[in-house]
Amino acid sequence: MIDPTARLSVSRQAIVLGISRGSAYYQPRPVSPADLKLMHRIDKLHTAFPFAGSRMLQGLLVQERFKVGRLHVATLMKRMGIEALYRKPNTSKPAPGHKIHPYLLRKLSVTRPNQVWAMDMYDLGQGDEANPRLYLRRSIYSGEKDAV
């Protein structure tokens, strides 16, 4: 992108590209082996406890004899792109542009068995190599349940 050996100066190349001059000189540092080990363990713990935030993960890591602070755990979680699962505000509001489907059985009177059927599927857990994903399928009319 920026060629320091070119006739045009680095400052001028940065202006032409629309980036700051400081970012032209920035060399990212590689992640240390200790942080890689810590990130791997945070990933395993996050898979086991998806609701755990940086405070709880830091406590779990300290129990496993890691010397790490909460802010470092939060930084690594941000770098890895993971966050705790928790209820966000306004969860009952529909998303903008979300289509509202009509209720097709409103004027239908159900008078005989097997006239109307419906099914729900629930995702039970995140799964990994040792434990694949488990789904619960439920037939609403008959009340039957089975795991798929």
pTM tops 0.75, yes or no: no
**pLDDT one-digit tens code per residue, 86-122:** 887 877 788 888 888 888 888 888 888 878 777 666 6
Q: How far apart are the first and last CA of the chain?
A: 51
Kindly tell me the number of DSSP H helices and DSSP E strands found in the chain: 5, 3
Continuous H helices in 18-102: 21-25, 33-48, 54-63, 70-80
Helix, strand, or coil (residue 119): strand
Is residue 47 within 8 A of residue 13, CB to CB? The reply is no
Q: How do strand 145-147 and strand 134-139 relate by DSSP bridges?
A: antiparallel
**pLDDT one-digit tens code per residue, 24-66:** 888 888 999 999 999 999 999 999 999 999 999 999 999 999 9
Judged by phi (left if over 0) then psi (alpha if -120 to 50, else beta), residue 35 lies in alpha
Residue 142 confidence (pLDDT) above 60:
no
